[in-house]
Amino acid sequence: MIQPSRASRRITRSTGRRSLLAAACATLLMACRGGELAAAVTPPNSVQVTELAHRWVDEVGRARGLESSAPLAVVVTNAQELKARAENDIRAQYHQDELEQTRRVQVSLGMRPPGPALDGPPGTISVSLAGMYDPPSRSLWIDAGAESFEFIVAHEGVHFLQDMHFGLDRFLAPITGDSDAELARTLLVEGDANAACIAWESGERDLASTSPETLRERGVQVLDAEEEAFDDPVLGCIHMLPYNYAPSTIVELVHERGWTAIDALYRDPPATSEQMLHPAKLSAREPAIPIAAHPERLAGALPRHTSVRQDTLGEARLFCMLAAVVPSERASAAAAGWGGDRIVVLETSDSRDLAPLVLGLIAWDGPDEAAEFEPVFRQYLEEKLPGRYQLERRGRDVLFATQVPTDAPATLLAHAWNVFVIPS
């Protein structure tokens, strides 16, 4: 779990929780329609909210090709109650120490600035919380006065239909040691919901007039435009990617094989964010290059350090890291060609208040792709972690270390190459 929360501009969502918090379709839809959007509806009472929600969910369900066999329960609430419910969900899912460790790993990787320890669930990066779908109760909790109310209801209504047809519990559970696979599932679930919103808004079930290429370009434009709204641009990009980039992959697959191709992804979920960013690689099920890590081999070079965690970054996170220092188009090109990666988090007994040492190996499809990535990644590390990183490339592989302690040997990376093994 590289990040414990994901969010759109207005609305927050949290990784691995049992509830899905609403992400407004409005931002991307406005881009697709040249800035025009139907006026938001603010129903005056819960009865009208429920009636509208049932109607809109039926409509978006027809656009998505998923029928409802039971009515959606609707709970009208407010942003404060939604935020409290979301925080309780996070507390129930994760131990506080795990959330704090995640924050410190993010600091080590330059994804967020140093700061005090968390005294509760991680702070949201959104302006307000507008709605959420809760799988256990199959209910929609909604702030009826929220901006773009109808699109929030439609988006969460798709989650209700996804849950009814495919079961969302396994798509919300954390995947220990593989945050990239976890993010890939989020890209599927949220990208599907937003693509269905686009189909509903356009009135065309087959999305025939929606260009995946144009949608992808406008999604990147939204990412660039909205990035400044976040205190931590890297995390902001990761939070927005499922809503503003993944829909183009869904639309492309719908053009090729219809909505049934999307249904099939719930039976055989994508394994990497790379697959969700590149439809051809998703169709081919291009696997990640397997990388094993043996941190015990560093005992001689770092006798005081202990490995506390292993994980993956994936193409999507690397893209967002690079996009914090170069235009998204260049970041996308530099991150494409990702083959696989593995990171190891190392701590000392007296460094619990500091960002940990992180070692990582990123394998690329070939030396050319690695050579394109390496200078942009070096620029990212230099801007985010000046003097606190080491980086080296050998052929198709890029090895890096962040938050390198001052007493680490100059030959740290020479030792670290022996930590990672790629099966032949």
User: Tens digits of per-residue pLDDT, 258-309?
Assistant: 999 999 999 999 999 999 999 999 999 999 999 999 999 999 999 999 999 9
Name the helix (H) or strand (E) containing 293. strand 292-293
Q: Strand 292-293 to strand 420-421: parallel, antiparallel, or no bridges (unpaired)?
A: antiparallel
Instruction: Return the closest-CA partner of residue 266 out of 204, 184, 211.
Output: 184
Q: What's the Cα-to-Cα distance from 151 to each of 79, 112, 140, 142, rounded to whole Å?
A: 16, 30, 13, 11
Instruction: Return the closest-CA partner of residue 395 out of 355, 368, 358.
Output: 368
Please list, residue by residue across 283-297, b when 16 or more beta carbons sit within 10 angstroms of its beta carbon and e when fewer do: eeebebbebebebee
Place of tokens 């881009």: 31
The C-alpha atoms of residue 308 and residue 144 are separated, in whole angstroms, by 44
Do 135 and 18 contact (CB within 8 A), yes or no? yes
Assign 125 a pLDDT band (cuts: 50, 70, 90). very low
pTM: 0.89
User: Tens digits of per-residue pLDDT, 304-323?
Assistant: 999 999 999 999 999 999 99
User: In this predicted structure, what is the pLDDT of residue 111?
Assistant: 95
Name the helix (H) or strand (E) containing 35. none
Is the confidence at residue 191, as pLDDT, over 80? yes
The C-alpha atoms of residue 284 and residue 139 are separated, in whole angstroms, by 36
User: Tens digits of per-residue pLDDT, 141-154?
Assistant: 988 777 778 888 99
Assign 16 a pLDDT band (cuts: 50, 70, 90). very low
Q: Strand 139-143 to strand 73-77: parallel, antiparallel, or no bridges (unpaired)?
A: parallel
Interacting residues of 299 by C-beta distance below 8 A, sequence separation 6+: none
Is the confidence at residue 386, as pLDDT, over 50? yes
